[in-house]
DNA sequence: CGGCCGTTTGATGGAACTCAATCTACGTGG
DNA sequence: CCACGTAGATTGAGTTCCATCAAACGGCCG
């Protein structure tokens, strides 16, 4: 376990201001709420499937995942929540969680700012819409792509999302998921994920070790599967 | 082609008042806007992928579908929009369509009411949240269910959605989709959908002819795959 | 140093795909 | 009223991804 720094509001501010123009007051409001941070251990459940969503939260650091478990134990991971992401945010009263949200890594969370003025409300709406778009893309991924395409497409999407909050390092980024998690995300088995990753390494597309991944040529990878970034607003 | 009746606001009113309590004014507003109906021919595109969403619409009658096409022609159908459903509704400015929406059957549409007071705004928010839940369920369906489970689960969900607007007839309901469409929805090929449907017929689970389907024992079917209805609010 | 979690490898099986042909229902024009 | 065209459903044979089962391997931590 490495030394723990106090996470700043940086990823959040970067992401939200990329989603909507924010005023200085909005920046200040985000910085203020980020001070009210709480830490959640890995594997802790944040929202339970079917339970009431107590309170929306912002992720300052760490990854969470949303999942659904079938009666016989099969698990589907629906999405990941990354630094700067919003979870449990809804436009209607008494929202029930449609799935569990669980901390994948240790998580640093903070509540929503008191005021959503200055563009924050718009950023939240866009963030929500982006989540929706990612869900739709995941449907296409699962329904109509091969194992290698699913992995490549998901890696590129994850990279784009991390770029938004400045959480990448050149062509590499943290990937704190086991092959088992990847399998449950992409509708495969961990054995097949393993073999597919190996073949992608052999082809020189990726390198993967100790929780970090390198995409050696994201553009080539993207054009190979005709990947294009998600968009929720007309240019 | 059968004689065409003027579609009433009935399915819409039923559905929305099931989603949120509506005032008499709200009923009246819905009835009023339903008179401004327009007809769209089957196969006509309503929103184009990536294009700007001109205007949200309500479906008075008919089915539409949302789909995404890959570069090599593979198609994934993301969802269907049924009578009483809302399409193109967003909480942020300048929304871009994340996918095409196309009329599956002939469609009767109307615009949103002038005022969203009296519970309509809340019903819209709940309707949107329900769509989101259905997308998540579709992810699980595609990622972790067998062909027969996918079909059964999707039929049960479609039935529940039609029940909301009163568009079923006992245990049967209209199903204006070819096996090709079902395949592109469920991540299968039409050949395999055909064989799976046949086996379900042989087992006495369903009957299917001329655009209508009968689920002979929805409860048995539901318990066989541990199906449970979608919910977006705590009881 | 042992236990555990995650990765890797091998052998085998099966659910679903592909390709291709036939069948059926239905609408259309002669 | 019937020949014809077409879209969709059905059937058959062969194939391929990906799943399953099982075991071995590697790194990390207590």
Residues B150-181: tens digit of each pLDDT: 999 999 999 999 999 999 999 999 999 999 99
All residues of chain B having their beta carbon less than 8 Å from the beta carbon of residue A51 are: 234
Mean pLDDT, range A84-94, rounded to an integer: 96
Chain B residues touching A91 at Cβ < 8 A: 91, 125, 128-129
Residue B67 pLDDT > 80: yes
Q: Which of A170, A178, A136 has its CA nearest to residue A153?
A: A136
Nucleotide nearest to B146 (CA to C1'): C15
Mean pLDDT computed over B216-230: 96
Chain B interface disruption, residue of A18, A48, A56, A92, most B CBs within 10 A:
A92
- Distance between CA atoms of residues B29 and B52, nearest Å: 27
SS3 labels along B127-163? HHHHHHHHHHHHHHHHHHCCHHHHHHHHHHHHHHHHH
- What is the CA A5 to C1' C27 distance in angstroms? 73
Is A76's CB within 8 Å of B135's CB? no
Distance CA B59, CA B127 (A): 13
| Strand C surroundings (CB within 7 A) | A 178-180, 190-191, 194-195, 197-198; B 146-148, 187-189, 191-192, 196, 210
Query: Which structure tokens are listed for A210?
Result: 């100790």
Q: Average pLDDT in the B94-114 region? A: 96
pLDDT in tens, A208-227: 988 999 999 999 999 999 99
Contact: A91, B128; criterion CB under 8 Å: yes
- Number of CB pairs, chain A paired with chain B, less than 8 A apart: 135
Please tell me the least confidently modeled range out of A6-15, A115-124, A218-227: A6-15
Instruction: Flag if B232 and A136 touch (Cβ within 8 Å).
Output: no
Evaluate the CA torsion angle A151, A153, A157, A160 in order and state its sign: positive
**C5: residue with closest CA to C1':** A178
Q: Contacts of residue A68 in chain B, CB cutoff 8 Å? A: 136-137, 140
Closest-CA residue of A relative to B186 is: A143
Decide: helix, strand or coil at residue A57.
strand
Q: Nearest-CA residue to the C1' of D19? A: A189
With 90 as the cut, is the pLDDT of residue B63 above it? yes
Nearest-CA residue relative to C1' of D12: B191
**How far off is chain A from B227, nearest CA to CA, in Å?**
9
Tokens 């998540």 locate to B136
The whole-number Å distance from B195's CA to C18's C1' is: 15
Q: Which residues of B touch A184 (CB under 8 A)?
A: 143-144
Q: Which residue is nearest to nucleotide C16 (CA to C1')?
A: B192
Residue A1, pLDDT above cutoff 60: no
Chain D: nucleotides under 7 Å from a protein CB?
A: 7-13, 17-22, 28
Task: Convert the pLDDT of each residue in A181-198 to its tens digit.
Answer: 999 999 999 999 999 999
Question: Of the candidates B214, B103, B195, which has an alpha carbon nearest to the alpha carbon of residue B155?
Answer: B214
Question: Hey, are the CB atoms on A126 and B92 less than 8 Å from each other?
Answer: yes
Q: What is the pTM of this model?
A: 0.96
Nucleotides of C under 7 A from a protein CB: 5-11, 15-20, 26
Alpha carbons within 13 A on the beta-carbon side of B70: 22
């Amino acid at each position: 376990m490495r030394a723990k720094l106090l996470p700043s509001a940086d990823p959040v501010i970067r992401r939200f201001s990329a989603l909507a123009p924010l005023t200085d007051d909005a920046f200040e409001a985000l910085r203020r709420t980020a001070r009210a941070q709480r830490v959640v251990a890995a594997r802790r459940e944040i929202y339970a499937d079917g339970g009431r969503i107590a309170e929306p939260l912002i992720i300052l650091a760490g990854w969470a995942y949303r999942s659904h478990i079938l009666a016989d134990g099969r698990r589907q991971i629906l999405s990941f929540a990354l630094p700067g992401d919003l979870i449990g945010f809804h436009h209607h009263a008494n929202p029930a969680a449609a799935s569990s949200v669980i901390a994948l890594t240790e998580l640093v969370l903070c509540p929503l700012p008191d005021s959503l003025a200055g563009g924050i409300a718009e950023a939240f709406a866009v963030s929500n819409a982006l989540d929706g778009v990612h869900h739709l893309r995941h449907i296409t991924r699962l329904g109509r792509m091969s194992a290698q395409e699913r992995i490549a497409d998901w890696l590129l999407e994850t990279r784009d999302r991390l770029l938004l909050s400045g959480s990448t390092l050149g062509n590499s980024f943290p990937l704190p998921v086991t092959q088992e998690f990847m399998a449950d995300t992409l509708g495969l088995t961990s054995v097949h994920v393993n073999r597919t990753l190996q073949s992608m390494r052999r082809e020189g597309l990726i390198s993967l070790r100790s929780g970090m991944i390198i995409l050696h040529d994201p553009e080539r990878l993207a054009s190979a599967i005709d990947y294009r970034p998600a968009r929720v607003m007309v240019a």
